[in-house]
């Protein structure tokens, strides 16, 4: 239960980012939305960590690692995500999260010398098959551009590399400190691109924009990422399997909030995904 409940909650919250971002980019340029989110969320978490909880600052080595992690996990991945979501549907945005486990598994095998167990491989196959069954009807009717899909792909490669990079080290810092600094550093690294390329003219900082920012900061950047760090510390590849559920939750949000259809394919795909999750988590289910 210590792994199951955080995994389910992480998937439910992380999947909501697609719908929240879709609403946010209706009001402002994607890069502006991303940078405002990062430059509010990062200092807020650091204020709690260093101001209220009196946690120690990272040392020079830790700052170096945090910078690499921030570049991959925040600047490139989340920057790419908000750019892509302007050109693809929320359903496809949720689908993109399911591609990450394949890259994580391959990168883990290379970087961490971690062999892939047969049931993990089978779980990935079932999970990806389920995601495909769920999303196939939506892909037939959704608007998407080739640049948007390529941007999504690049972002998923980046976040997968970030996950494996994070797992390479024994972090002594509290997760709130890691999260706060990587979000702030990632926002600062993205800022020059926002100032150069963002379209400020048509952006409107209305209620929809600020509600989107609020949701992306508190449930997604704070709560979901804290859960993700916990899961990754247990096992990077096992944690990646929870990303299979993100499209399922994402399609539910899209159906309710954005009127995207649900069908029998959704049910069949969900069963396949749960089968894949069981196979991937088999060892943990056997433990008392």
Phi, psi of 115 (to 5 degrees): -70, 150
Q: What is the pLDDT of residues 21-64, one digit of tens each?
A: 999 999 999 999 999 999 999 999 999 999 999 999 999 999 99
* Prediction pTM value: 0.80
Cα 34 from Cα 189, distance rounded (Å): 12
Torsion (CA) 152, 154, 160, 162 in degrees, nearest 10:
-120
Cα 22 from Cα 89, distance rounded (Å): 8
The C-alpha angle 269, 13, 227, rounded to 5 degrees, equals 110
Residue 288, pLDDT > 50, answer no
For residues 157 and 103, the answer to whether their CB atoms sit within 8 Å is yes
For residue 61, the model assigns a pLDDT of 94
For residue 157, the model assigns a pLDDT of 87
Q: What is the pLDDT of the chain when averaged over all its residues?
A: 85
Maximal C-alpha separation, the chain: 58
How many angstroms from the chain centroid is the CA of residue 207?
Answer: 24
Q: How many CB atoms lie within 10 A of CB 256?
A: 11
Residue 177, pLDDT > 90, answer yes
Quickly list H helices, 86-117: 90-96, 100-111
Q: What's the burial of 107, exposed, middle or buried (CB within 10 Å: 0-12/13-18/19+)?
A: buried
Contacts 24+ apart (CB under 8 A), 208-215: 208/23, 208/24, 208/26, 208/27, 209/24, 209/27, 209/28, 209/33, 211/23, 212/20, 212/21, 212/23, 212/24, 212/27, 212/33, 213/24, 213/33, 213/36, 213/37, 213/40, 215/16, 215/20
Q: What is the pLDDT of residues 206-245, one digit of tens each?
A: 999 999 999 999 998 888 878 887 887 777 667 777 877 8
For residue 95, the model assigns a pLDDT of 73
Q: What is the pLDDT of residues 111-166, one digit of tens each?
A: 767 777 788 788 878 888 887 787 777 777 665 677 887 898 899 889 988 988 88
Q: What is the pLDDT of residues 254-279, one digit of tens each?
A: 888 888 777 888 788 878 887 887 77
For residue 132, the model assigns a pLDDT of 79
Could you tell me which of 172, 209, 175 has the C-alpha nearest to residue 49? Answer: 175
């Amino acid at each position: 239960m210590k792994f199951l409940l955080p995994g389910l909650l992480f998937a439910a919250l992380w999947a909501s980012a697609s719908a929240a971002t879709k609403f946010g980019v209706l009001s402002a340029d994607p890069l502006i939305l991303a940078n405002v989110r990062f430059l509010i969320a990062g200092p807020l978490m650091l204020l709690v960590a260093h101001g209220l909880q009196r946690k120690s600052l990272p040392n020079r080595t830790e700052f170096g690692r945090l910078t690499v992690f921030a570049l991959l996990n925040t600047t490139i991945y989340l920057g790419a995500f908000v750019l892509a979501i302007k050109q693809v549907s929320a359903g496809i945005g949720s689908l993109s999260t399911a591609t990450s486990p394949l890259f994580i598994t391959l990168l883990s095998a290379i970087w961490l010398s971690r062999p892939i167990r047969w049931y993990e491989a089978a779980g990935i196959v079932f999970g990806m098959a389920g995601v495909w069954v769920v999303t196939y009807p939506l892909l037939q009717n959704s608007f998407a551009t080739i640049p948007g899909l390529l941007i999504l792909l690049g972002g998923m490669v980046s976040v997968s590399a970030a996950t494996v990079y994070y797992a390479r080290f024994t972090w002594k810092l509290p997760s709130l400190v890691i999260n706060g600094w990587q979000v702030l550093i990632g926002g600062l690294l993205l800022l020059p691109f926002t100032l150069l390329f963002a379209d400020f003219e048509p952006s409107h900082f209305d209620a929809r924009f600020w509600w989107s920012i609020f949701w992306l900061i508190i449930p997604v950047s704070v709560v979901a990422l804290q859960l993700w760090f916990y899961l990754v510390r247990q096992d990077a590849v096992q944690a990646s399997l929870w990303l299979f559920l993100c499209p399922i939750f994402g399609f539910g949000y899209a159906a309710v909030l954005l009127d995207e259809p649900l069908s029998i394919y959704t049910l069949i795909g969900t069963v396949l995904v749960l089968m894949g999750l069981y196979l991937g988590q088999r060892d943990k289910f056997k433990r008392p």
